[in-house]
């Protein structure tokens, strides 16, 4: 293998003074050393057009794309039609999961209380229209409720010590018709009951101030009647889809058996248009597929977008579970593009599940160094679709800008926060890295076999809120 030639990037050393007459040279120690961009890099880089990525983000981020909804399915159809317009055979891989649609309306009224209450539902709160005497039930632990009779009552319970689900189940077991849980910290309480359960009674959340006001009235000896209404919630089986466009090796005789997967998730959280999370990765996957379509490669490349990532990486786990042992051992790399275009986020980084380098990070550090003079740093992290690949022993990395933008998972994650420069930069680094391995005269690093590693729940999810 040829040794890379180090070249001083003179252009980056030139800084012009405000008046424009004086040239100031940076201190030699600040001058970056740039590896020459290879001819093969240019083949990819020159074709990547951030405008295409931007336009697809714009199209996809008109609405939230919650897994299992019509809007996610519309996105799936659009992604498939884009892949097909580039000439790919495209497969839609359906899978089912247990989902929850939040209530369309909810209300708490208390006879004998003047203030206005602004309840929130829990994920997996069940529908109902119940009323009964309001009764304080402390933290709602089994110990506290031993011997209590809550028959027909609405239990007022404070947050803390045990999960929301346990509080609801403990109160229900003592006969409660409904449950109100109030926060133990300032601000609204948005929580989850974790999973559907036939034993749940209608349960809503109030703020600390609201709960304490009700408690003060009860403690002063008032008799209060509470009514709780929840409508439109729906728990049940849902269908989501992965979209897979496959580029077979160009020349069967010179092909290897390897498979490279480039992926992203196309779903978003409720209420968020998900321009950056993750229409950006989806649109970048599409652009890389377009660019690679007519470029000869000796390696199979699968361009795919996953459904239901936001609900627990369900689509990517389904895809990896659907692979045969043979396909798993032939899959040498997973490039996971998730949140790759925000103006308001930091620099590009790569996350691997174990924090170690692997084929994906080696190829990408080499390409980023050739293109920009800096190798993209590697950190440890899960939280996205590279997790199932890494768990199966496949070298995998998440591409993301760090720190994350303030619009993450919010209604403000919109197209106006997207930077075309960032899109171009990440697509070039990833495109050049893939091509370094997949081109015919490949000289890239050899794949390393990884130890299988199981992600702990903490590596997949953030800590569960209690």
Q: Which residues bind ligand BES (CB under 6 A)?
A: 277-278, 309-310, 312-313, 338-339, 383-384, 400, 404, 408, 460-462
Total residues interacting with Zn ion, rule: CB under 5 A? 3
Burial grade of 442 (CB within 10 A; 0-12, 13-18, 19 or more): middle
Closest to ligand BES by CB, 198 or 463: 463
Tokens of 138: 């402390």
Q: How near is the Cβ of 208 to ligand BES at its closest, in Å?
A: 24
Q: How near is the Cβ of 408 to ligand BES at its closest, in Å?
A: 6
Q: How near is the Cβ of 263 to ligand BES at its closest, in Å?
A: 13
Closest to Zn ion by CB, 154 or 272: 272
Label residue 76 left, alpha or beta by phi (over 0 means left) and psi (-120 to 50 means alpha).
alpha
Closest to Zn ion by CB, 140 or 281: 281
Per-residue buried b or exposed e for 195-210, using 16+ beta carbons within 10 Å of the residue's own CB: eeeeebbbbbbbbbeb
Residues 334-353 that bind Zn ion (CB under 5 A): 338
Does residue 277 belong to the site contacting Zn ion (CB under 5 A)?
yes
Per-position x/- string for 1-40, each x denoting binding to Zn ion as judged by CB under 5 A, each - no binding: ----------------------------------------
The entry of Zn ion, ligand BES, none near residue 436 (CB within 5 to 8 angstroms by kind) is none
Closest to ligand BES by CB, 270 or 460: 460
Residues 265, 278 contacting (CB under 8 angstroms): yes
The entry of Zn ion, ligand BES, none near residue 383 (CB within 5 to 8 angstroms by kind) is ligand BES
Q: How near is the Cβ of 338 to ligand BES at its closest, in Å?
A: 4
Q: Taking Cα atoms as reference points, which of 259, 237, 278 lies closest to residue 79?
A: 278
- Nearest-angstrom CA–CA distance, 341 and 209: 39
Closest to ligand BES by CB, 342 or 367: 342
Q: Are strands 331-337 and 378-380 parallel, antiparallel or unpaired?
A: unpaired
Closest to Zn ion by CB, 278 or 300: 278
Q: How near is the Cβ of 102 to ligand BES at its closest, in Å?
A: 17
Tokens of 179: 């449950």
Q: Taking Cα atoms as reference points, which of 76, 408, 65 lies closest to residue 267?
A: 65
Closest to Zn ion by CB, 210 or 338: 338
Q: How near is the Cβ of 277 to Zn ion at its closest, in Å?
A: 4
Burial grade of 251 (CB within 10 A; 0-12, 13-18, 19 or more): exposed
- Nearest-angstrom CA–CA distance, 63 and 188: 25
The entry of Zn ion, ligand BES, none near residue 355 (CB within 5 to 8 angstroms by kind) is none
The entry of Zn ion, ligand BES, none near residue 267 (CB within 5 to 8 angstroms by kind) is none
Q: How near is the Cβ of 453 to ligand BES at its closest, in Å?
A: 16
The DSSP code sequence of 208-250 is: HHHHHHHHHHHHTT---EEEEEEES-EEEEEEEEEEEEEE--S
Residues 262, 338 contacting (CB under 8 angstroms): no
Q: How near is the Cβ of 306 to ligand BES at its closest, in Å?
A: 10
Does residue 72 belong to the site contacting Zn ion (CB under 5 A)?
no
Residues 168, 154 contacting (CB under 8 angstroms): no
> Which among 79-87, 134-142, 174-182, 271-279 is the span making contact with Zn ion, rule CB under 5 A?
271-279
Binding site for Zn ion (CB under 5 A): 277-278, 338
């Amino acid at each position: 293998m040829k040794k890379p030639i180090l070249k001083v990037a003179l252009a980056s050393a030139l800084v012009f003074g405000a008046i424009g007459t004086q040239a100031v040279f940076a201190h030699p120690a600040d001058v970056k050393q740039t590896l020459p961009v290879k001819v093969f890099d240019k083949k990819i880089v020159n074709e990547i057009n951030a405008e295409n990525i931007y336009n697809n983000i714009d199209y996809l981020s008109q609405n939230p794309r919650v897994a299992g909804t019509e809007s996610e399915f519309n996105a799936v159809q659009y992604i498939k039609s884009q892949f097909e317009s580039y000439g790919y055979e495209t497969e839609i891989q359906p899978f089912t999961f247990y989902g929850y649609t939040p209530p369309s309306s909810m209300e708490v009224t208390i006879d004998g209380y003047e203030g206005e209450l602004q309840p929130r539902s829990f994920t997996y709160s069940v529908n109902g229209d119940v009323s009964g005497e309001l009764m304080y039930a402390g933290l709602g632990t089994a110990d506290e409720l031993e011997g209590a009779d809550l028959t027909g009552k609405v239990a007022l319970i404070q947050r803390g010590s045990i999960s929301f689900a346990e509080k609801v189940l403990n109160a229900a077991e003592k006969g409660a018709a409904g449950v109100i849980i109030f926060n133990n910290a300032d601000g609204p309480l948005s929580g989850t009951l974790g999973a559907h359960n036939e034993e749940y009674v209608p349960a809503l959340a109030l703020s600390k101030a609201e709960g304490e006001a009700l408690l003060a009235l009860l403690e002063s000896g008032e008799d209060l009647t509470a009514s709780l209404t929840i409508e439109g919630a729906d728990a049940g089986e849902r269908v989501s889809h992965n979209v897979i466009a496959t580029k077979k090796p160009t020349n069967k005789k010179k092909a290897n058996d390897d498979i490279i997967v480039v992926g992203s998730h196309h779903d978003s959280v409720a209420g968020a248009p998900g321009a950056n999370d993750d229409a950006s990765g989806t649109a970048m996957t599409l652009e890389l597929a377009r660019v690679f379509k007519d470029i000869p490669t000796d390696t199979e490349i699968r361009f795919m977008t996953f459904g239901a990532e936001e609900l627990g990486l369900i689509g990517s786990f389904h895809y990896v579970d659907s692979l045969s042992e043979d396909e798993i051992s032939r899959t040498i790399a997973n490039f996971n593009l998730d949140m790759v275009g925000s103006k308001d986020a930091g620099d590009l980084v790569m996350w691997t599940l174990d924090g170690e380098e692997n084929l994906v990070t080696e190829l990408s550090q080499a390409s980023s160094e050739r293109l920009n003079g800096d190798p993209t740093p590697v950190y440890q992290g899960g939280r996205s679709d590279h997790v199932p690949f890494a768990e199966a022993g496949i070298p995998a990395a998440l591409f993301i800008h760090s720190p994350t933008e303030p619009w993450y998972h919010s209604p403000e994650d919109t197209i106006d926060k997207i930077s075309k420069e960032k899109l171009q930069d990440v697509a070039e680094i990833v495109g050049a890295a893939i091509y370094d391995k997949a081109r015919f005269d490949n000289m890239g690093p050899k794949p390393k076999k990884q130890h299988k590693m199981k992600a702990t729940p903490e590596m997949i999810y953030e800590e569960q809120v209690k």
